[in-house]
Structure 1
Amino acid sequence: MKYKRVLLKLSGEALMGEQQYGIDPNRLEQYAKEIKKVVDQEVEVAIVIGAGNIFRGMQASKLGIDRVQGDHMGMLATVINGMALQSALEGAGVYSRLMSGIQMDQVCEPFIRRRAVRHLEKNRVVIFGAGTGNPYFTTDSAASLRAIEIDADVVLKGTRVDGIYTSDPEKNPDAVKIDELTFDKALSDNLKIMDLTAFTLCKENKLPIIVFDMNKPDNLFQLMSGAKVGTIVTQ
């Protein structure tokens, strides 16, 4: 395998599958099988998952909810998704641990960096829930931060498009796919890959980002095997 330890960032919306809301069990099962393929090759996998399928902290103000309160609600929603993904992984025969940035001992472990690394070394998938544990930070920022903390080789951003385009391919049919680009080029062209905090963290720590289509069967395994899948952003 090309990479030894990876941080896989999944969006909450991806878990909806063909539904309008919530969690699609078929999509969960698919993701679990894809992750199992690389774990069976002794790749160490950590995961950060969003919660857009349940609640977004950014929506809070529209509902009359305080932004900080709303962000904490979003963090709790990521733990729900993390529990669902953990159940699917263990159903596929993959050992896993769910760690949270907010203490909730009855359902998951608190995030402790050394313990997380030890789990990975024992070939357990580690799911990081509750973002960074702080309001005003997205799950993209949590993914970048956790990836740096566990010394991951790369951040894999699993989306529903097959890479980075010159503009949104779902809105612009003339958008052109980019196979490789630098952090500086992505910033100068204002390409929306991750939020700026998350992107800057990766840039400053020379941590590559690969954006790829997680919904395409076998894509994750092909990427880990060294095939040119998606778009890579490097220093």
Structure 2
Amino acid sequence: MEQSSYKRIVLKLSGEALAGEQGFGIDPDMIQSIADQIREIHELNVEIAIIVGGGNIWRGMAGSAKGMDRATADYMGMLATVMNSLALQDSLENIGVQTRVQSSIEMRQVAEPYIRRRAIRHLEKKRVVIFAAGTGNPYFSTDTTAALRAAEIEADVILMAKNNVDGVYNSDPSTDENATKYEQLTYLDILKDGLGVMDSTASSLCMDNDIPLIVFSIAEKGNIRRAVTGEEIGTIIRGNV
């Protein structure tokens, strides 16, 4: 019988992971595959919180680069994460996994407001909690949201599931055939070398709160379970190696 190496995790999904091969929007087959993988670890009695990006629908930075007000563009990105969160909630509940969406921007008709103590209570009752709408503030990424929520709920680890790479490399493996994958790193390495795993605010927050991060590919089914059960997968980042 497999056992989890962690009691409580934060799973960070990119919006692009929900788009599948179509590259934009929400692919029902892909989101169902992700939901099935989440159910696998839910059955291991893991407390699961999830943050989903919105890049498959809208990117605030892209809108800002084309002249849109940055705050407005970022708020639109937050709303995109709510759409993704609701889609993932629906897929999870269709396979029997109780799920709650908590939004940092209040929209009570579709999601609970984010309340830390309520979120922890849901987790203790083995409900999956999806944190939507980022931090509720412009200029902060969903990576920073993952770091912040992990600190707030005292998660044991952040699992960062990527859709196009299986760890952290010293250069882009899609363009450099000599790119080298790191097995372990520190947050200082990330910040010093500008490796682009997550933004500097998120990296600093994880480092300051001693939250380990595992970066791996979601393309291969079962990888979330492998990460949770302690298999060596992807790249692990800690305060100190």
**Shorter chain as normaliser: what TM range?**
over 0.9
Gaps of 5+ in 1: none
Trace 1:13-28 onto structure 2 (pairs within 5 A).
Answer: 13-28=16-31
Aligned-pair CA distance for 1:155: 0.7
Aligned-pair CA distance for 1:187: 2.2
Trace 1:40-189 onto structure 2 (pairs within 5 A).
Answer: 40-160=43-163, 161-189=165-193
Aligned-pair CA distance for 1:189: 2.1
Aligned to 1:30: 33
Aligned to 2:217: 213
Task: State TM-score, norm by structure 1.
Answer: 0.98
- What is the RMSD of the two structures over their aligned residues, measured on CA atoms? 1.0
| Partner AA of 1:224 in structure 2 | V
Aligned to 2:11: 8
Q: Is the 8 A contact 2:168 2:234 kept in 1?
A: yes
Q: Deviations over 1:94-136 (max 9, x none)?
A: 1000000000000000000000000000000000000000011
Q: SS of 1:45's equivalent?
A: strand
Aligned-pair CA distance for 1:62: 4.1
Distance 1:185 1:57 in 2: 27
1:223 aligned to 227, 235, 241, which one?
A: 227
Aligned-pair CA distance for 1:186: 2.4
| Partner AA of 1:99 in structure 2 | Q
Q: Deviations over 1:62-88 (max 9, x none)?
A: 444211111111101100000000001
Gaps of 5+ in 2: none
Given the alignment of the two structures, is residue 197 of structure 1 paired with residue 201 of structure 2, yes or no? yes
- Aligned length in residues: 235
Task: State TM-score, norm by structure 2.
Answer: 0.95
Aligned-pair CA distance for 1:147: 0.7
Q: Deviations over 1:160-207 (max 9, x none)?
A: 211111111111111011111112222222211100101110011111
| Partner AA of 1:89 in structure 2 | L
Q: SS of 2:31's equivalent?
A: helix
Distance 1:16 1:197 in 2: 26
Distance 1:203 1:51 in 2: 25
Distance 1:207 1:124 in 2: 22
**Identity of aligned pairs, percent?**
53
Distance 1:101 1:78 in 2: 11
Q: SS of 1:201's equivalent?
A: helix
Q: SS of 1:18's equivalent?
A: helix
Aligned-pair CA distance for 1:226: 1.2
Distance 2:111 2:168 in 1: 34
Q: SS of 1:17's equivalent?
A: helix
Runs of 4+ in 1 over 4 A off after TM superposition: none
Distance 1:49 1:33 in 2: 16
